[in-house]
A and B are shown apart, each in its own frame.
Chain A
């Protein structure tokens, strides 16, 4: 019997393929002439095109920490973390490397900064590339999109993650609800073809890094269009980008378990609140500290299962019960298959 979902996917591919080789003529000049037939009328200046116009959407930049966290619910059907994420004002960050549970209550300094999500590539238990989310913090006054875009092209905090984007490859990012897209400008250094050594899946995930990060930054699910000088860039890293790129399905794109808090390298003490998201069998995720092959403070909890989304979970580990030192914090999804293919995310932290 035909699987209707699979059948839908094949029809989708077939119709997209049917018009994939159609490259319409550029009629922008004709359009300009049509709407301004009088030559004395000042023609539309191409140079101001999308970039200048998108500046008016600067209101999107006014997102505080709470608004930002709402951006985690970036899928109209699905989400990576809830819009009402309970740790709205409590994200760990580089700036709060010595945070403890007690010191993580909102403070006046928090109001001057904002948290934002950056998506990096990692691998799932089968070795396939997937996205992992890291939270960073920066000055609240910085326009939306700037910090996430910069960090996307920098080394992630967690050495388990990587980024396909080199510094300077991606420039301005602007969301424009009127155009229905987020515009991002790749520099000419960005390869149009897939680089040697990069698989097609890795290239797809690299593009989705940009989509997920910018959708989070601008709190929208609008697709992302790669544009240079007002014209869509047809291919980036070998992936077709001639049309706006939609967010990939969460469970086909993101890791099914992801620690949100704390961050790699944080120093903690006392009661450590660990937060994250998952999608697993019966929603079960096990959280523990590991050192020299031994597990400490092991605690199971429930995030969620089903749906094309990730569900939030929170556990509190009493780190006063272990010796000070460096530990690997592990969040591991349950694997009912018994094959030991555990979906995991880790953070190396220091217990003071």
Chain B
């Protein structure tokens, strides 16, 4: 039997915005920070995603998937932002990769550890970064990651495996701290 499509009466775009904001604003901004590194940019991206959901609310086929839509939107907009940033930097001839932290800095305090993790993520290929953020931060299943990114489950496995290996190589000291 086909699943019943739910569109609860009275569940307006405004209600959706308020509820989704209360439940997921912080988590989605944090997800975006893992993807784009900068907090202010992350807030802008997620805010735009909420506005987009509000605007499209009546056209969403399945409002129960609003959160999935939001997640997908955050990933896509983060990706667009990074592409734009790369273009700007190339034109300005300013593209610089984040400087790796020195051993002395690394693990010196919580701030250094967190910065090291975000920098290491930033250096990963885009797909690997996205898969790791969805897998290890949001704890999504392979199937959900595949749907969010529009790739196969096999590709999710492959990106996760390579990304995790790269992170382990870069963040050996930080990983030891979490033992």
Please report A residues at the B interface, Cβ cutoff 8 Å. 7-8, 10-25, 27-28, 30-32, 34-35, 44, 46, 48-50, 52-54, 56-57, 176-181, 183, 225, 227, 230-232, 242-244, 246
Q: By the criterion CB–CB under 8 Å, are B51 and A53 in contact? A: no
Looking at chain B's contact residues, the main secondary structure is helix
B88 CB within 8 Å of chain A? no
Residue pair A23, B26 in contact (C-beta under 8 Å): yes
Across the interface, A21 reaches (CB within 8 A) one of B14, B66, B110, namely B110
Of B42, B55, B174, the residue contacting A35 (CB under 8 A) is B55
**A15 & B133 in contact (Cβ 8 Å cutoff):** yes
Pair A10/B179 contact, Cβ less than 8 Å: yes
Query: What is the interface of chain B, defined by CB distance below 8 A to chain A?
Result: 6, 8-11, 13-27, 29-31, 33-34, 39, 42-43, 46-47, 50-51, 54-55, 63-64, 66-67, 110-111, 113-114, 117-118, 121, 132-133, 136-137, 139, 164, 167-168, 171, 174-175, 178-179
A-B contact count (CB 8 A): 164
Complex interface: chain A residues within 8 A of B8 (CB): 56-57, 178
B34:A15 contact, CB within 8 angstroms: yes
Q: B121 to chain A: which residues have CB within 8 Å?
A: 15, 18
Q: Given A14-B117, A22-B33, A56-B9, is A179 in contact with B19 using a C-beta cutoff of 8 Å?
A: yes
User: CA A176 – CA B64 in complex, angstroms?
Assistant: 9
Least Cβ distance of A1 to chain B in Å?
13
CA distance A16 to B117 in the complex (A): 10
A15 and B117 within 8 A (CB): yes
What residues on B are CB-neighbors of A27 within 8 Å? 25, 43, 47
Chain A hits for B167, CB < 8 A? 11, 14
Of the candidates B17, B30, B137, B171, the one whose C-beta lies within 8 Å of that of A31 is B17
Q: Which of A48, A176, A178 counts the most chain B CB atoms within 10 A? A: A178
The 6 closest A-B pairs by CB, nearest first: A53-B15, A18-B117, A19-B30, A24-B29, A180-B67, A179-B19
Partner of A22, one of B23, B29, B179: B29
Q: A10-B179, A179-B20 are in contact. Are A53 and B11 (CB under 8 A)?
A: yes
User: Measured between alpha carbons, how far is A243 from B139 in the docked complex, in Å?
Assistant: 13
What's the Cα separation between A9 and B24 when bound, in Å? 23
Chain B residues whose C-beta falls within 8 Å of the C-beta of A13 in the assembled complex: 178
Chain A nearest Cβ from B147, distance in angstroms:
15
A–B pairs, 17, beta carbons within 8 Å: A7-B168, A8-B164, A11-B167, A12-B139, A17-B113, A18-B121, A19-B33, A27-B43, A31-B47, A35-B14, A52-B15, A53-B18, A176-B19, A179-B22, A179-B24, A179-B67, A183-B22
- The answer to whether B27 touches A243 (Cβ under 8 A) is yes
Asked if B64 contacts A177 (CB within 8 A), the reply is: yes
- Distance, CA A152 to CA B10, complexed state (A): 31
Is there an interface contact between B114 and A18, defined as CB atoms closer than 8 Å? Answer: yes
- Residue among B8, B33, B50, B179 with max Cβ neighbours from chain A (10 Å): B8
Whether the Cβ atoms of A246 and B47 lie closer than 8 Å is no
B89 shortest CB reach to chain A, Å: 23
**Known pairs A17-B114, A25-B43, A49-B19; A178 contacts B11 (CB<8 A):** yes
B6 / chain A contacts, CB cutoff of 8 Å: 177
CA distance A32 to B18 in the complex (A): 9
Q: Are A225 and B23 in contact (CB under 8 A)?
A: yes
The answer for the CA separation of A57 and B27 in the assembled complex, in Å, is: 23
* Beyond known contacts A11-B132, A14-B174: 7 more, CB 8 A cutoff: A12-B136, A14-B167, A24-B43, A44-B17, A53-B16, A179-B67, A230-B18
Given contacts A18-B114, A22-B39, contact A44 B18 (CB under 8 A): yes
Residues of A with C-beta under 8 A to B164: 7-8, 11
| Inter-subunit contact B23/A35 (CB<8 Å) | no
CA distance A227 to B25 in the complex (A): 13
| A54 in contact with B19 given A15-B136, A27-B47, A179-B67 (CB within 8 Å) | yes
